[in-house]
């Protein structure tokens, strides 16, 4: 098997994640899509680390995880706050930027 | 490192071909399931599988971290929030923004095609593998630790700060500002005194009845007049209609009531004190 | 040597900070606390000390060399892009600085009761006035193109708030925005020219660390096309500020909606930046382009003269009318500048001062009048027959009006006649014809002034106005220096002409093609 | 002694300043008691100075009589140097004498005339201001300073015409008349400004010494000289109410009568003639301009005379007469050196007799309760004997009956008009005839005025009139002026004393013979004058004067309306001008202002278009982002060939 299969898998997962972000309206699911995308990149990082024999890829993946964790914390807090005020977790209901 | 330092074992190949399709399916579940909880479960599956792949790819430390952080922490957080927001809530999958579905699908497929195409057409070096490059042959976590706390120590610290900040940020964001004055004991007492004319009682409510035949939360006590006291039963039970009738309804065997009088009043005082 | 100019710039800034410090708080209407009345006296004191500083600057100025830029200070500001804090004044600059310095205490005094009793609001108001003063003094003394540009734009900030926040017309906010948009638009075009100027100068061999200094830029050959384009850039900005037809639209709105004090500062001093810039930047930096554009500019100037006067005649709003008269007068100033004669240029320079005094007086007296009306009406037809009710006010208004129509014996006449006589012999093609075309402006001026006087002050007193109070001591003190200045400068214009003559000669030398006297004689005999 | 000259202007100027500023600073109660006497004193002091200077000048040989007195450098910039200097020469001093003498008399007269006016102090302030400005005008040694006086008298005239601009029923009309006078004067002033511009362009100077020197004038091209001359004429027309700028003078009678006497008869309105004579050198270099001057004079002469015949308002009739008489002067001024002296001479005598006539009219009005309609007068000679006699002297003077003063000056002009001009033989005949004709009409309307007022057997007064002479303060000035009207011509005219006196300024006139013998001209003039007077006597003294004006012929009706001058101005100038102004106004609002607002409108239109992209939906933005990434990736792939490096 070619190691690039992992990268292709990562690409597919990334695309699925992106599509989730674009198509789902529930903020939490949208968030999950974001997480999926992050994980996909992590997989790519790990694969490239292995491919090049360089640990930096794993280090980057590690940082991505940490930052993702931070992001999730803040993001979910925001979702909770929005939900409290609007009783809704749909991203379409938050359209105050409408021109 | 040697050019041909890595041979992908058959086991790994099998593992990959078993796991990868399942992962893709689970990921697609994210797109298609109606309930957010199910989506979360799909994601959990993807993440655990991802951890397996990490381990398979000579990144055991990351694999463990993946399980701990993502499935252990992040996804739990998701579930908590889902519970806050409402587990039952299921999404309607009908699109409200005109054209968004097609645009989204197009972009998704396009991304997959482009990324896949790039990967397919890119010239990668022959895979090196990590084992060959390990100086001194230390295990992966140790090697990673060297890099992390050696070359990337500053970034490590910064990320630490980030995490703390994020935690504080989440606290601030979810903090509810108190809009009314704090209800301390005195305020509660005052409120109750004020509410006296409206028929609220000052004393604790009577406890449910304790009878020889039944001694349960759902049975009202009897007052000194022998009438049932509805307030003695929990409000929830009353509303649900799960209240039972007292064994000695008025008008039946008053004598029995009087003989048990002392016992009930004792029980009532002890409960009131408690 | 004492840095007079920096002191003149810094002192009002200090004043603005000290007085305005409390202004950041929330506005309380009708508060009568212990600090009542601090802002106005303090600001007045600051502005009077500024006048004293001005006297010092005048004493330090060598009138014998009025054409040179004196009291100079140069410090590197951002050496990487070659900007400096360079200030210096020649005679013209000094007079305009004087105008800015002298008018501010009068405006403060005139606006004494205008902004109500709210201390915070008052502090904001006087703080903005002092801030504006600092910027105005600085812009008239800036000798670095970049510094000039920055100040040119910075002035808009206090001016914007003074119009929009403290005006008395209903449309003050719109007027403020209009003013800002016009000025910013012009400034933007000028910025492009400023940047181009820097790069072209550097490529022409000017030291990059000094390539914004006007003195370094004069005489640098920039190439004909580039020079013309940059001239246009500068000129549009100045024409908007001046204001010149057809980019004048903002001025009547501002005049009609701002307080008379603000209009005084804005139109009598701040707008002089336009004509001052034409004189001290456009001409020396782009002499060839100036000559090239002169016939067109002269035509526009004369159109402004007539257009402004005609519009003034048609106005029903007293303060707008005064605004329109300024359009007419700025036309005269520009006519004098762009005919390149020493006489016309000196006349224009002098007129910048005189217009400030005359129109300032008219604005302020008109303000006194409006403040007396029970409904603060600015409609001319709401007044009638006030000459017998308020004789001193009527007299002061008439004197200010006569100064506006350039009655001989008043300073405005000297400058106007200098412009007309000088411009007639100007070098650019068509000078004589256009000058003759501008002369009817003096008749139109008589019409708009006397028509207004007639409507407001003659006839039977209007109902409800029979008992208006005459000018109070404070208002007389405001009007007296202006009237006195107009009279003294009218009889002894030499007091001011010594400052503008030499710069005018020099300016005419820069723009002279060949013997202008010959051309003038030719022009004259062709008549 | 020449150092006294600035005080000529200084006294009245200081007087005006005190009278105007005192009430502002110290309140008006105190000064209202004695302010008018301060005004009289200021004017009288100026008169005394004038006398001193006069005697000094008479004691100086003819060639040394022209003195320039430099005060201070007025303006010196950009090649133009103008000193604030006074030129004392026979011409200016003649004027000074006229202004201060007549002026002082009128000041005295006004003390009584304005007795009941609460604003008398202000009136005297303006009178003093006028005297100062008028003296500045005539004493100036440069066109620029002359212009100061020129507009100064215009201002004083404006203030005095509109003196009663509030508190009276006619207040608004008075104010409008004042404005009209000032604006029409300003139209003339344009000419002076243009002339100064031309002179500066040519000679580089504006003082008489340089600009009018032989060098300067000699090197002047015909075109320039004509242009300057015509511009100066325009100025003179404005100030002296000459055709076509004559319309303001009649309305100017809205001012108090002493004002009409001083400003609109004796002094200010003749400033145009002074300007013409002063600038004689330039006019002589421009025959075309000269011809136009004569033409304007001739037209105005007839115009004023015709209008004068039809007016029933005593002041307006006198105003028309003034216009006509100045036409004579203007005509003379256009005739060259031969006419200058007579122009000024007539100016002087006219100053006396017309001031006398106006003050007499004022006296009549004072007696008749401010009535000005002559049809409501009649038979006043018994009640106002002093006025009757002094006005009679003035009447004889203006008719040109020898030996009264008008004869000496007017006859000189008529003679001069008959002097042939080389190459244009028609001129002598035409202008001579006009002058004689004018004399005849003058005789008619002045006799009409005189007899309508004083003659007639039956008074036509309105109810309740008890005419009586005013206080001595009023009739003494009349006496002085009457004596002057009678004797001045005889004193100055006999033997050409006045002509010789002016010679250092206007130059010596070569003696030319008129086309007709002098005796014939004199006789013919006298004959037509007597005929005109007799006709008027027959119509207005012998026959009864109707109290209501008869309809009259078409010409009479036209003349009553000032020959439709106002209608013409209205139609030809004012209405088109306001039409233009309205066009400009609408243009400014709908084209310029709206034009600029197109810019912000365009911006907000674009904003509206782009705003639609801002749906507010996060997912739309995300789609945009992702799509953008996709596009960039595709482009990068295609262009850079990212993946094609295999």
The string of pLDDT tens digits covering residues D362-417 is 888 888 888 888 888 877 888 888 888 888 898 988 888 888 888 888 888 888 88
Q: Which residue of B has its CA nearest to D627?
A: B107
Q: Which residues partner with D70 through β-bridges?
A: D85
Predicted confidence (pLDDT) at residue A56 exceeds the cutoff of 70: yes
Give me the total of CB pairs closer than 8 Å, taking one residue from chain A and one from chain D. Answer: 37
Whether there are 3 or more C-beta pairs closer than 8 Å between C and B is no
Report the C-alpha gap between D231 and C425 in whole angstroms. 17
Cα–Cα distance between C427 and D195 in angstroms, integer?
19
Q: For residue B163, list chain A residues with Cβ-Cβ distance below 8 A.
A: 66, 69-70
Query: What is the full DSSP assignment across C110-146?
Result: HTTTTT-S-HHHHHHHHHHHHHHHHHHHHHHHB-BHH
In this complex, the residue of B28, B85, B112 whose CB is nearest that of residue A89 is: B85
Residue C32's pLDDT band (boundaries 50, 70, 90)?
very low
Kindly state the average pLDDT of the residues D501-508: 78
- pLDDT given at position B53: 93
Determine which of D75, D152, D158 to mutate to test the interface with C (most C C-beta atoms within 10 Å).
D75
| pLDDT tens track for C375-432 | 888 899 899 888 888 989 999 999 999 999 999 989 999 999 999 999 998 888 888 8
Test B100 with A17 for CB contact under 8 angstroms. no
Q: Hey, are the CB atoms on A13 and B119 less than 8 Å from each other?
A: no
Instruction: Answer yes or no: are the C-beta atoms of D260 and D324 closer than 8 Å.
Output: no
Window C:427-466, CB contacts with D under 8 Å = 432, 435-436, 439-440, 442-443, 446-447, 450-451, 453-454, 457-461
The closest of D175, D153, D180, D172 to D266, measured between CA atoms, is D153
D554-565: average pLDDT: 82
Q: Report the alpha-carbon distance of residue C206 to residue C216 in Å, rounded.
A: 7
**In this predicted structure, what is the pLDDT of residue D1?**
60
Q: What angle do CA D468, D474, D477 make, to 5 degrees?
A: 130
Contact B173 A74 (CB under 8 A): yes
CB-based contact (8 Å) between C312 and chain D?
A: no
Q: What is the model's pLDDT at position C325?
A: 93
Residue C84 forms beta bridges with which residues? C76
Cα separation of B41 and B39, whole Å? 5
Please give the pLDDT value at position C524: 44
pLDDT of residue C517: 46
Comparing alpha-carbon positions, the chain D residue that sits nearest to C185 is: D599
d(CA D389, CA D377): 16
Subunits close to B (at least 3 CB pairs below 8 A): A, D
pLDDT of B134 reads 52
A95–D619 C-beta distance less than 8 A: no
The 10s digit of each residue's pLDDT in C92-146 is 999 999 999 999 999 999 988 887 777 788 888 889 999 999 999 999 999 999 9
Q: How far is C367 from chain D (nearest CA, A)?
A: 20
The residue-averaged pLDDT of C181-205 equals 91
Kind and range of the H or E element at C255?
helix C250-257
Is the pLDDT assigned to residue D541 strictly greater than 50?
yes
Distance of CA D491 to the CA centre of its chain: 28
> Is A46 in CB contact (< 8 Å) with chain D?
no
A99 touches chain D (CB under 8 A): yes
CB-based contact D619 A21, cutoff 8 Å: yes
Q: φ, ψ for residue D470 (rounded to 5)?
A: -80, -165
Name the phi and psi angles at A88, rounded to 5.
Answer: -155, 145
Min Cα distance C250 → chain D (Å) is 9
Over residues D109-132, the pLDDT tens digits come to: 899 888 888 888 889 999 999 999
C-alpha C448/C-alpha C328 separation (Å) is 11
| Nearest-CB residue to B123 (from D617, D626, D645) | D645
Among D94, D167, D9, D568, which Cα is nearest to D352's? D94
pLDDT confidence band for C520 (50 / 70 / 90): very low
Nearest CB among A21, A22, A95 relative to D615 is that of A95
> Which of the 8 DSSP states describes residue D549?
P
User: What is the C-alpha separation between B230 and A91, in angstroms, rounded?
Assistant: 47
Say if CB A64 and CB B153 are below 8 A apart. Answer: no
Q: Which of B17-31, C199-213, D105-119, D236-250 has maximum average pLDDT?
A: B17-31
**For range D530-554, the mean pLDDT:** 83
- Burial environment of residue C315 by CB neighbours within 10 A (0 to 12, 13 to 18, 19 or more): buried
Q: Does C37 touch chain D (CB under 8 A)?
A: no
Looking at residue B247, its pLDDT comes to: 65
Contacts of C453 in chain D (CB under 8 A): 179
The single-letter DSSP state of residue C384 is -
Alpha helices in C318-381 (DSSP H): 318-337, 342-372
Helix (H, G, I), strand (E, B) or coil at C223: coil
Chain-centre distance for alpha carbon B207: 35
**pLDDT-derived band at D617, boundaries 50, 70, 90:** confident
For D21, which residue in chain C has the nearest alpha carbon? Answer: C392
Banded model confidence at residue C514, pLDDT cuts 50, 70, 90: very low
Subunits adjacent to chain A (3 or more Cβ pairs under 8 Å): B, D
CB C417 within 8 A of CB C353: no
Q: Which residue of A has its CA nearest to D612?
A: A99
C345 and C507 Cβ atoms separated by less than 8 Å: yes
Q: Mean pLDDT, chain D, as a whole number?
A: 86
Q: Nearest by CB to C424, from D84, D166, D201: name it.
A: D201
| Count of Cβ atoms closer than 10 Å to residue D526 Cβ | 18
What DSSP assignment string belongs to C35-69?
Answer: TTT-HHHHHHHHHHHHHHHHHHHHHHS-GGGTTS-
pLDDT (0 to 100) of residue C36: 55
d(CA B141, CA B139): 6
> Taking 80 as the threshold, does the pLDDT of residue D510 lie above it?
no
Distance from chain centroid for Cα D3: 30
pLDDT in tens, chain B (274 residues): 444 467 788 888 999 999 999 999 999 998 888 888 899 999 999 999 999 999 988 888 999 999 998 888 888 888 888 888 776 556 666 777 778 888 888 999 998 888 888 888 877 888 777 765 455 556 778 888 888 898 899 999 999 999 999 999 988 888 877 778 788 888 888 888 888 888 777 777 777 777 766 667 778 887 777 777 777 887 777 787 777 777 665 554 444 444 544 444 444 444 444 4
Q: Is the pLDDT of residue A51 over 70?
A: yes
User: For D230-250, what is the mean pLDDT?
Assistant: 89
> From A17, which residue of chain D is nearest by alpha-carbon distance?
D626
C-alpha–C-alpha distance, residues C512 and C227, integer Å: 17
Chain D residues near residue A94 by CB distance under 8 angstroms: 616, 618
What is the DSSP secondary-structure string of C185-221? HHHHHHHHHHHHHHHHHHHTT--GGGTTBHHHHTT--
ipTM confidence score = 0.73
- Residue C514, classed as helix, strand or coil, is coil
Q: Report how far residue D342's alpha carbon sits from residue D328's, in angstroms, rounded to the nearest whole number.
A: 10
CB D253 within 8 A of CB D315: yes
Give CA separation, D560 vs B166, D250, D254, in Å: 99, 11, 17
Q: B82 vs A61: CB contact, 8 Å cut-off? A: no
Q: What is the separation, in whole angstroms, between the first and last Cα of chain C?
A: 53
The pLDDT value recorded for residue D568 is: 85
A67/B contact by beta carbon, under 8 A: yes
Cβ–Cβ below 8 Å for D617 and A96: no
Say how many CA atoms lie within 13 Å of D317 toward its Cβ. Answer: 25
Q: Does C493 touch chain D (CB under 8 A)?
A: yes
Closest alpha carbon within chain A to B160? A66
Q: Which residue in C365, C121, C153, C399 sits closest to C260, CA to CA?
A: C365
- Residue B271: what pLDDT? 45
Per-residue pLDDT of D330-345, as tens digits, reads: 999 888 887 888 888 8
Does the pLDDT at position D62 exceed 60? yes
pTM of the predicted model as reported, rounded to 2 decimal places: 0.80
Scanning A78-97 for CB atoms below 8 A from B yields: 78-81, 83-84, 89, 92
D633 min Cα distance to partner chain A (Å)? 14
DSSP bridge partners of B228 = B222
- The answer to whether D623 faces chain B, any CB pair under 8 Å, is yes
Q: Kindly give, in sequence order, each residue whose CB lies less than 8 Å from that of residue D435, ignoring residues fewer than 6 positions away.
A: D298, D301, D328, D331, D413, D414, D417, D418
pLDDT for C226-249, tens place per residue? 999 999 999 999 999 988 988 998
**Contact status, residue B197 vs residue B222, Cβ threshold 8 Å:** no
How many whole angstroms separate alpha carbon D297 and alpha carbon D307? Answer: 15
> Using CA atoms, how far apart are residues C448 and C362, in angstroms rounded to an integer?
13
> How close are the terminal C-alpha atoms of chain B, in Å?
77
């Amino acid at each position: 098997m070619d190691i690039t299969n992992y990268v292709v898998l990562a690409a597919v997962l990334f695309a699925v994640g992106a599509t989730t972000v674009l198509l789902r309206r529930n903020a939490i699911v949208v968030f999950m899509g974001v997480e999926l995308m992050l994980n996909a990149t992590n997989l790519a990082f790990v694969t490239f680390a292995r491919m090049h024999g360089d640990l930096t890829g794993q280090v980057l993946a590690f940082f991505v995880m940490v930052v993702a964790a931070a992001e999730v914390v803040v993001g979910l807090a925001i979702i909770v706050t929005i939900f409290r005020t609007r009783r809704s977790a749909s991203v379409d209901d938050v359209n105050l930027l409408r021109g | 490192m040697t050019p041909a330092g890595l041979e992908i074992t058959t086991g790994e190949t099998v593992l990959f071909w078993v796991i990868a399709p399942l992962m893709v399916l689970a990921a697609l579940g994210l797109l298609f399931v109606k309930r957010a909880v199910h989506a979360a479960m799909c994601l959990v599956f993807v993440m655990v599988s991802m951890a397996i792949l990490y381990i398979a790819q000579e990144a055991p430390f990351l694999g463990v971290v993946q399980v701990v952080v993502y499935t252990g922490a992040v996804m739990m957080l998701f579930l908590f929030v889902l519970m806050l927001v409402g587990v039952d809530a299921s999404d309607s999958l009908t699109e409200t923004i005109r054209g968004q579905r097609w645009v989204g699908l197009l972009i998704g497929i396009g991304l997959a095609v482009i990324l896949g195409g790039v990967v397919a057409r890119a010239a990668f070096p022959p895979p090196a593998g990590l084992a060959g490059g390990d100086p001194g042959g230390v295990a992966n976590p140790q090697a990673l630790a060297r890099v992390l706390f050696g070359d990337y120590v500053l970034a490590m610290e910064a990320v630490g700060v980030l995490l703390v900040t994020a935690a504080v940020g989440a606290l601030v964001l979810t903090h509810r500002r108190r809009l009314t004055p704090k209800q301390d004991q005195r305020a509660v007492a005052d409120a109750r005194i004020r509410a006296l004319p409206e028929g609220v009682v000052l004393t604790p409510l009577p406890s449910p009845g304790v009878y020889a035949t039944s001694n349960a939360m759902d049975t009202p006590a009897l007052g000194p007049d022998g009438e049932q006291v509805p307030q003695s039963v929990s409000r929830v039970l009353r509303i649900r209609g799960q209240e039972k009738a007292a064994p000695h309804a008025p008008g039946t065997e008053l004598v029995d009531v009087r003989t048990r009088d002392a016992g009930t009043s004792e029980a009532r005082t002890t409960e009131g004190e408690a | 040597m004492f840095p007079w100019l920096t002191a003149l710039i810094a002192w009002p800034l200090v004043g603005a900070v000290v007085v305005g410090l409390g202004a950041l708080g929330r506005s309380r209407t009708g508060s009568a606390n212990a600090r009542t009345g601090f802002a106005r006296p303090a600001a007045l004191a600051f502005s009077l000390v500024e006048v004293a500083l001005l006297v010092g600057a005048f004493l330090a100025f060598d009138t014998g060399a009025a054409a040179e830029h004196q009291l100079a200070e140069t410090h590197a500001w951002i050496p990487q892009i070659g900007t400096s804090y360079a200030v210096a004044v020649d005679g013209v600059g000094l007079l305009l600085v004087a105008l800015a310095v002298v008018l501010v205490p009068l405006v403060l005094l005139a606006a004494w009761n205008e902004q109500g009793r709210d201390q915070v609001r008052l502090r904001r108001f006087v703080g903005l006035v002092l801030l504006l003063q600092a910027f105005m003094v600085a812009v008239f003394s800036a000798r670095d193109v970049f510094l000039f540009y920055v100040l040119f734009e910075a002035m808009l900030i206090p001016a914007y708030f003074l119009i929009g926040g403290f005006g008395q017309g209903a449309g003050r906010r719109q007027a403020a925005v209009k003013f800002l948009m016009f000025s910013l638009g012009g400034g933007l075009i000028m910025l492009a020219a400023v940047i181009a100027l820097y790069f072209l100068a550097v490529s022409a061999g000017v030291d990059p660390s000094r390539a914004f200094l006007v003195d370094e830029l004069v005489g640098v050959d920039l190439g004909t096309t580039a020079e013309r384009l940059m001239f246009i850039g500068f000129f549009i900005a100045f024409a908007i500020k001046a204001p010149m037809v057809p980019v004048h639209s903002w001025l009547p709105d501002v005049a009609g909606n701002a307080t008379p004090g603000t209009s005084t500062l804005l139109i009598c001093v701040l707008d002089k930046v336009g004509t001052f810039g034409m004189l001290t930047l456009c001409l020396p930096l782009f002499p060839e382009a100036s000559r090239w554009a002169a016939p067109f500019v002269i035509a526009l100037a004369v159109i402004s003269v007539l257009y402004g006067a005609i519009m003034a005649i048609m106005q029903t709003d007293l303060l707008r009318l005064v605004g329109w008269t300024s359009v007419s007068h700025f036309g005269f100033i520009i006519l004098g500048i762009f005919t390149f004669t020493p006489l016309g240029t000196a006349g224009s320079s002098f007129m910048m001062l005189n217009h400030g005094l005359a129109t300032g007086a008219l604005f302020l007296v008109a303000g006194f009048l409006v403040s007396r009306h029970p409904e603060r009406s600015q409609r001319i037809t709401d007044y009638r027959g006030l000459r017998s009710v308020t004789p001193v006010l009527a007299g002061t208004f008439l004197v200010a009006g006569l100064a506006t129509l350039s009655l001989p014996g008043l300073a405005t006449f000297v400058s106007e006649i200098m412009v007309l006589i000088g411009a007639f012999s100007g070098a650019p093609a068509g000078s004589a014809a256009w000058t003759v075309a501008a002369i009817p402006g003096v008749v139109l001026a008589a019409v708009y002034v006397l028509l207004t006087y007639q409507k407001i002050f003659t006839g039977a007193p209007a109902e409800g106005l029979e008992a208006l109070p005459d000018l109070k001591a404070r208002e007389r003190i405001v009007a007296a220096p202006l009237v006195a200045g107009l009279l003294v400068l009218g009889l002894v214009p030499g007091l001011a002409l010594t400052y503008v003559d030499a710069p005018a000669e020099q300016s005419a030398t820069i723009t002279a093609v060949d013997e202008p006297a010959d051309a003038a004689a030719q022009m004259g005999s062709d008549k | 002694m020449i150092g006294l000259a600035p005080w000529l202007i200084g006294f009245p100027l200081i007087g005006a300043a005190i009278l105007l500023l005192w009430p502002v600073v110290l309140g008006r109660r105190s000064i209202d008691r004695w302010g008018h006497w301060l005004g009289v004193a200021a004017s009288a002091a100026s008169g005394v100075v004038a006398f001193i200077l006069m005697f000094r000048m008479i004691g100086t040989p003819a060639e040394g009589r022209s003195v320039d007195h430099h005060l201070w450098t007025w303006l010196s910039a950009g090649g133009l140097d103008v000193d604030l200097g006074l030129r004392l020469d026979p011409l200016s001093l003649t004027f000074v004498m006229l202004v201060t003498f007549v002026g002082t008399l009128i000041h005295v007269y006004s003390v009584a005339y304005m007795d009941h006016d609460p604003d008398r102090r202000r009136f005297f302030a303006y009178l003093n201001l006028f005297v100062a400005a008028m003296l500045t005008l005539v004493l100036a040694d440069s066109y620029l300073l002359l212009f100061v006086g020129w507009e100064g008298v215009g201002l004083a005239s404006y203030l005095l015409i509109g003196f009663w601009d509030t508190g009276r029923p006619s207040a608004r009309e008075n104010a409008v008349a004042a404005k009209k006078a000032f604006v029409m004067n300003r139209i003339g002033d344009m000419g002076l400004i243009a002339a100064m511009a031309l002179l500066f362009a040519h000679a580089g100077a504006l003082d008489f010494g340089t600009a009018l020197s032989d060098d300067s004038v000699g090197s002047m091209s015909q075109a320039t000289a004509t242009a300057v001359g015509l511009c100066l004429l325009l100025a003179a027309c404005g100030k002296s109410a000459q055709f076509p700028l004559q319309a303001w003078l009649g309305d100017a009678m809205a001012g108090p009568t002493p004002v009409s006497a001083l400003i609109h008869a004796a002094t200010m309105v003749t400033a145009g003639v002074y300007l013409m004579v002063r600038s004689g050198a330039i006019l002589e270099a421009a025959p075309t301009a000269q011809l136009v001057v004569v033409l304007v004079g001739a037209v105005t002469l007839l115009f004023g005379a015709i209008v004068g015949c039809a007016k029933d308002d005593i002041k307006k009739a006198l105003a028309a007469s003034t216009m006509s008489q100045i036409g004579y002067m203007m005509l003379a001024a256009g005739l060259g050196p031969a006419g200058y002296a007579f122009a000024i001479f007539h100016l002087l005598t006219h100053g006396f007799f017309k001031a006398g006539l106006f003050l007499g009219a004022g006296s009549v009005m004072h007696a008749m309760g401010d009535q000005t309609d002559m049809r409501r007068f009649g038979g006043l000679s018994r009640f106002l004997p002093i006025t009757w006699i002094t006005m009679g002297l003035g009447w004889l003077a203006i008719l040109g009956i020898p030996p009264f003063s008008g004869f000496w000056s007017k006859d000189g002009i008529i003679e001069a008009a008959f002097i042939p001009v080389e190459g244009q033989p028609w001129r002598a005949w035409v202008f001579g005839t006009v002058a004689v004709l004018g004399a005849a009409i003058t005789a008619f309307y002045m006799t009409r005025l005189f007899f309508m007022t004083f003659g007639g057997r039956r008074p036509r007064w309105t109810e309740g009139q008890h005419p009586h002479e005013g206080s001595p303060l009023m009739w003494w000035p009349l006496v002085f002026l009457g004596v002057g009207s009678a004797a001045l011509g005889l004193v100055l005219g006999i033997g050409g004393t006045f002509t010789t006196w002016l010679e250092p300024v206007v130059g010596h006139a070569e003696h030319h013979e008129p086309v007709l013998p002098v005796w014939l001209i004199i006789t013919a003039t006298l004959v037509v004058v007597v005929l005109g007077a007799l006709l008027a006597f027959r119509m207005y003294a012998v026959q009864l004067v109707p109290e209501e004006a008869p309809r009259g012929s078409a010409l009479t009706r036209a003349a009553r309306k000032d020959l439709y001058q106002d209608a013409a101005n209205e139609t030809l100038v004012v209405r088109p001008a306001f039409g233009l102004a309205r066009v400009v106004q609408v243009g400014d609002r709908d084209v310029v202002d709206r034009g600029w607002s197109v810019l912000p409108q365009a911006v907000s239109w674009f904003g509206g278009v782009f705003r639609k992209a801002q749906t507010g939906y996060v997912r739309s933005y995300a789609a945009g982002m992702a799509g953008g990434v996709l596009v960039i990736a595709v482009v990068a792939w295609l262009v850079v060939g990212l993946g094609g490096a295999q």
